[in-house]
């Protein structure tokens, strides 16, 4: 398990640096995310669902967290074919810890 910083993208393809038929608004976005550092921390993951959970949770006075199983490493061009098993293992670990 890696403890890191997750950021939320506003969409699935372009906002995550993948182009389909339209050009990217910022072709260097992934490189800038990869090189970003703050107080010794780097961004280790990004996805597109957690921002709503974090925002709603804060408005309601809850503490929220994001736990993600890695499905693809786009920088290394690798993917996890057994992501369903990894997701189930991760859920077990998280539930045991809370």
Q: Tokens at residue 84, please? A: 């369903």
- The pLDDT score that the predictor gives to residue 10 is 79
Residue ranges per structural domain of the chain: 5-97
Q: What is the mean pLDDT of the chain?
A: 87
Predicted local distance difference test score (pLDDT) of residue 96: 95
Closest by CA to 46, choosing from 94, 89, 11, 86, is: 11
Tell me: the pLDDT tens digits for 45-79?
A: 888 888 888 899 999 999 988 888 888 887 788 88
Alpha helices in the chain (DSSP H): 29-35, 50-59, 83-97
């Amino acid at each position: 398990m890696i403890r890191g910083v997750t950021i939320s993208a506003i969409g699935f393809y372009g906002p995550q640096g993948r182009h389909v038929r339209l050009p990217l608004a910022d072709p260097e976005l992934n490189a800038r995310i990869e090189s970003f550092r703050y107080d010794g921390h780097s961004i280790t993951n990004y996805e597109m669902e957690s921002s709503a959970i974090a925002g709603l949770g804060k408005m309601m006075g809850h503490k929220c967290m994001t736990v993600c199983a890695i499905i693809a490493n786009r920088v290394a061009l690798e993917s996890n074919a057994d992501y369903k098993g990894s997701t189930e293992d991760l859920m077990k670990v998280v539930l045991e810890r809370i």
